[in-house]
Structure 1
Amino acid sequence: MKRATIYDVARAAGVSHQTVTRYLNGFEGIRPSTRERVQAALEELDYRPNGAARWLRSRQSNRIGILAHRMELSGPGRIMAGATKAARSRGFVLDIASMDGEDAASVDRALDVVMEHQIAGVFATAQTVVVRDAVADRHLDVPFVLDSAEALELVGGHSRAYPGRLAAAHLAQLGHRKVALVNGPHVWTASGERRSSFVEAAAGLGLEVVWEWEGDWSAESGYQAAGQFPGEATAVSAANDSMAIGLIYGLTERGIRVPEDISVIGIDDSPESRFHLPPLTTVRLDFEGEGAYLMNVLIAKIEGEDVGGVPAYRVPELVARGSTAAVGSSDARA
């Protein structure tokens, strides 16, 4: 539902919008009866003042509001690192509001926090349908960026689903035909896009997806998936490296060797992935570059610049290591 404006409050109170503005700014020269009507209208309409739009119009703000979710995860944390560096290089500072990006009420509260400050724009690290819907419902009158969908489209027509296609192509090249998928939470846009791209590419390459598991991005959820893993698949694609590493550990406990018995590929190229035993095959994502790109797109919107002039970042690329091998191979690759 659309948020109430000062014009809505003015109509409900039977006063001018200038009177509502003076009341909100603490002006004392308002008759008590008028003040009571304005206050009653504010409460009835659940009005929440938006200081950001006022400061943006006056070009006095150099602050950007950040909606932060799951910063302990590799992707969001690295995106934030790139975004923070880019913002500081352009003279902007960040106001960070933590939230649960899977809970609409939590997202709404975080938006309340950042929009009460003198901000020029909003940057959200949570890549969920919940955040998209919450921002759309607020009808923000400051520039904002939500996730990397816009970024990859602008960079060169790639969708965020591209890592799934790379993973499927790699497994097909190694001769695998029956494969499995360990995906992230369904409310994350990345999960849906990575799944759809993997499944579509697999079908086009003659692969059969015989089993799927929904995790929560954690190594623990990958470990839990290993306990349910069917024997017919010869390879599995995990939607991030943490779940892939947990899966490998769980498979090893069951006496299933990686990659001799089953190949495992992740997505992210997290810093620890190459130090795992075996070293993890993965799809490298330029999270820091993505964060910098998104922040520079947001600043371009704030400054009225052409977003087409923002420097691009690296598109996903396969990093083949020892956790995948050709079907029937008894030797892991270095």
Structure 2
Amino acid sequence: MSSEPASPGPARRPTIYDVAKQAGVSHQTVAMVLRGQGKFRPETLKRVSAAIETLRYRPNNAARALATSSANRIGALVFELLEVGPSKTVQGASLRAAEAGYLLEIVSLPLHDPRDDQIDDGAIRRALTLLDRADVAGILVFAPVDRLLDRQAGVDVSSLSVPLVMELEPEPARGTTLSERGMDLVIDHLAGLGHTRIAYLGGSPTWVAARRRSEAVRGALARHGLELVAELAGDWSAASGARAVRALGPDDLAGITALVCGNDQMALGALLALDEHGIDVPTRMSVTGFDGIPESGFLRPPLTTVKVDYATHGRQLLESLLARIGQPAGNIETTGNTPDDAPPDTEFLPRGSTAPPSGPDVRS
């Protein structure tokens, strides 16, 4: 009988219970963090993320994929799913995925780290870890932020085993993108009414789409020989629109005859704040939105806006990913609106929130 010690077997693959023990939380908490569900303290998220990376944990869903002999899911990373544009785009992508025989699995990510108001890199890494598995055929990223493109953020896209396609509106090319089409319509309308003192209220600069929309406004104004008199920053929410306009002083407000908002929600907040300032819309100041939410026609006054066919946009994005399934992974491919990939249909809806400039304090 040999006295030699038995050779060690292959290392056991870490489980969700190992991660929970390492992080000092329950396995239910780890599962919810991986799925992007629930709200947890930053310290808890940090411990779970550190445990996942230390143990090199990967969800073991290979058995399910082997049982079906196919990868029947498409992963979707979504920032701020409650916003109109992203939610309608995802809806369109989900319907197209179902038609192609796939289930769209959505992971909603927080835009900011609550500790320092920055992009939560840990959440992005956890989401990619969750979706990079055998039953997922590819990953689609909606409404991206710069942090996902920043290789220094610790998001190792090159290690993915499935293709990743990211929605990304291209550099301005005069009239070829969603933002350019929509903002051309808005500025043409305001300039046609006689407005020359126009301000812009945009989304968070961490969103590529927000910067593209700002560039589109400036480009449209330049065609009329105009420049922005002020640029305000929000975060796409109605509350941020109200905050930005409330912060304006009397002199700032006196120099503006029209306020262009990057989406309808911020316009809604701006309307409230202007009313609080005692400024009548549209007699003293015109206000426009973007997106064309159903409620925009029922505000007081009804909001002039641009209606966007985001559902068709979502279907187009899903088609881009379907074309890459089965091809080598390990890099980010961006897709957006190019001359060969027409932007979503836009419809300008002029309503009661815009009128020719008037009033004693309008400046030429």
Aligned with residue 185 of structure 1, among 181, 204, 207? 204
Q: Deviations over 1:155-211 (max 9, x none)?
A: x98224313333222221211111111110000111100111111321331223111
1:296 CA displacement: 2.1
50 and 175 in structure 1: CA distance in 2 versus 1, 3 angstrom threshold: same
Q: Who is 1:315 aligned against?
A: 345
Q: Whose relative contact order is higher, 1 or 2, with alpha carbons under 8 Å and at least 6 apart?
A: 2
Contact 1:176/1:207 (CA < 8 Å) preserved in 2?
no
Q: 1:59 to 1:206 in 2, by over 3 A?
A: farther
Q: 1:190 to 1:212 in 2, by over 3 A?
A: same
Take 1:253 and 1:44, find their aligned partners in 2: how far apart are those partners?
A: 50
TM-score for the superposition, normalised by structure 2: 0.69
**Pair 1:160–1:92, CA change in 2 (3 A):** same
Cα separation, 1, equivalents of 2:315 and 2:206:
25
C-alpha distance in 2 between matches for 1:175 and 1:51: 62
Matches within 5 A, 1:239-278: 239-278=262-301
CA shift, 1:238, in A, is: 0.6
SS of 1:65's equivalent in the other structure is strand
Whether 2:176 is the aligned partner of 1:158: answer: yes
1:236 to 254, 259, 281: 259
State the Cα deviation string for residues 219-274 of structure 1 (Å, max 9, x = none): 11111122133221100111100000110111012210111100111111111111
Q: Pick one of 170, 179, 186 that aligns with 1:167.
A: 186
Q: Give the SS at the match of 2:294.
A: coil
Question: Aligned ranges for residues 20-31 of structure 1 at < 5 Å?
Answer: 31=7
Aligned residues: 289
2:303 aligned residue: 280
**Equivalent pair of 2:81/2:108 in contact (CA under 8 Å):** no
Matched, 1:203 2:222: yes
Moved more, 69-78 or 94-103: 94-103
Do the aligned partners of residues 51 and 172 (structure 1) sit closer, same or farther apart at CA in structure 2, a change above 3 Å counting?
farther
**Does 1:144 pair with 2:195?**
no
Look up the equivalent residue of 1:211 and give its one-letter code: A
- Going from structure 1 to structure 2, the CA distance change for 1:255 and 1:124 (only over 3 Å counts) comes to same
> SS at 1:88's partner residue?
helix
Match of 2:124 in 1: 107
State the match for 1:18 in structure 2: none
Please give the per-residue CA displacement for 1:267-317, whole angstroms capped at 9, x wherever unaligned.
11111111111111112211111111111221232267xx99x99664333
Q: For the residues of structure 2 that align with 1:314 and 1:216, how far apart are their CA atoms?
A: 23
Verify the 8 A CA contact 2:238 2:266 in the aligned structure 1.
Answer: yes
Q: Which amino acid aligns with 1:158?
A: T
Q: Structure 1 pair 115/91, CA: closer, same or farther in 2 (3 Å)? A: same
Q: Is the 1:268–1:282 contact (alpha carbons within 8 Å) kept by the matching residues of 2?
A: yes
Cα offsets for 1:124-175 (capped at 9, x unmatched)? 223211233369741234222221527x99xx98224313333222221211
Deviations along 1:53-110, one digit per CA (max 9) or x if unpaired, are 9x79x97211111112211111111111111111111110122223224322211111
Partner of 2:137: 120
**Contact 1:179 1:210 (8 Å CA) reproduced:** yes
Q: Is the 8 A contact 2:90 2:311 kept in 1?
A: yes
SS in 2 for 1:208: coil
- Is the contact made by 1:52 and 1:119 (CA closer than 8 Å) also made in structure 2? no
Listed as ranges, the gaps of 5+ residues in structure 1 are 1-29, 330-334
> 1:22 aligns to what?
none
Q: Is the 2:178–2:343 Cα contact (8 Å) retained in structure 1?
A: no
- Answer whether contact 2:281 2:287 (CA < 8 A) is retained: yes
Judged with a 3 Å threshold, the aligned counterparts in structure 2 of structure 1 residues 167 and 157 are, in CA distance, closer, same or farther, namely closer
Matched residue type, 2:354 = T
Query: Counterpart of 1:6?
Result: none
Separation in 1 of the partners of 2:199 and 2:175? 28
Q: RMSD of aligned C-alpha atoms?
A: 3.5
Distance (whole Å) between structure 2 residues aligned to residue 173 and residue 132 of structure 1:
39
Find the aligned partners of 1:206 and 1:178 in 2 and give their Cα distance.
Answer: 12
Say which is worse superposed, 194-203 or 241-250, in terms of deviation.
194-203
State whether residues 143 and 209 of structure 2, in contact with CA within 8 Å, keep that contact through their aligned partners in structure 1. Answer: no
Who is 1:213 aligned against?
232
Between stretches 125-134 and 288-297, larger displacement belongs to: 125-134
